[in-house]
């Protein structure tokens, strides 16, 4: 089964590629790896939420936003090389704008990791960092980037 077929089976559609908010491109290929730029939880061209997780944004909401970020990252991969070229997800880095004292970053970033597992199965198992930060671009609560291995 292709990855695009698997998305359809899950009832998930990739969004349009999010327009960059500064001087960068959504994804770059180097050899058999694709690196995505950090993806915010944009939905239909607008940021889905702003604020700090554990404050203005609940961890459960932030987990859903991390899933949206991962979908946006997959859209960037699809636009550059086609989703069906993916061999495996190598690494995911998740950034969580955290209210003081919030330490649940791993559970928030699970929103992205779990989506990748649903879509890619064992090929979606990846190395990961879940980092708490003071601020993210545009006041976003989460940001996700991916390193993806593709076929030659």
Rg for the chain, CA atoms, rounded: 14
**b/e for 67-95, b at 16 or more Cβ within 10 A?**
bbbbbbbbbbbbebbebebbeebeebbbb
- Phi, psi dihedrals of residue 121, rounded to the nearest 5°: 60, -135
* Position 9 pLDDT exceeds 90: yes
Q: What percent of the chain has pLDDT over 70?
A: 100
* Position 1 pLDDT exceeds 80: no
**For the residues 47-75, what does the mean pLDDT come to?**
98
Overall residue count recorded for the chain in this entry = 152
Cβ neighbourhood burial of 4 (10 Å; 0-12, 13-18, 19+): middle
**Can you give the pLDDT at residue 152?**
74
**For the residues 57-76, what does the mean pLDDT come to?**
98
Q: How do residues 123-149 score in pLDDT, each as one tens digit? A: 999 999 999 999 999 999 999 999 999
**Can you give the pLDDT at residue 136?**
98
Q: Using pLDDT thresholds of 50, 70 and 90, give the confidence band for residue 21.
A: confident
**For the residues 108-125, what does the mean pLDDT come to?**
98
**Can you give the pLDDT at residue 137?**
96
CA atoms of 106 and 74, how far apart (whole Å): 20
For the chain, the domains span 3-12+27-150
Domain range 3-12+27-150, CATH class: alpha beta
Mean pLDDT across the chain:
97
Q: Is 127 helix (H, G, I), strand (E, B) or coil?
A: strand
């Amino acid at each position: 089964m292709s990855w695009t077929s698997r998305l359809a089976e899950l009832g998930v559609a990739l969004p349009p590629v999010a327009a960059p908010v500064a001087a960068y491109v959504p994804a770059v290929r180097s050899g058999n790896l694709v690196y995505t730029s950090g993806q915010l939880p944009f939905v239909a061209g607008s940021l889905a939420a702003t604020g700090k997780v554990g404050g203005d944004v609940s961890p459960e909401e932030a987990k859903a936003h991390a899933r949206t970020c991962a979908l946006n990252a997959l859209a960037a991969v699809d636009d550059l090389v086609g989703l069906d070229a993916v061999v495996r997800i190598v690494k995911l880095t998740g950034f969580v704008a955290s209210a003081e004292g919030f330490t649940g970053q791993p559970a928030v970033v699970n929103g992205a990791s779990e989506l990748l597992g649903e879509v890619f199965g064992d090929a979606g198992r990846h190395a990961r960092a879940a980092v708490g930060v003071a601020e993210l671009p545009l006041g976003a609560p989460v940001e996700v980037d991916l390193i993806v291995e593709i076929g030659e």
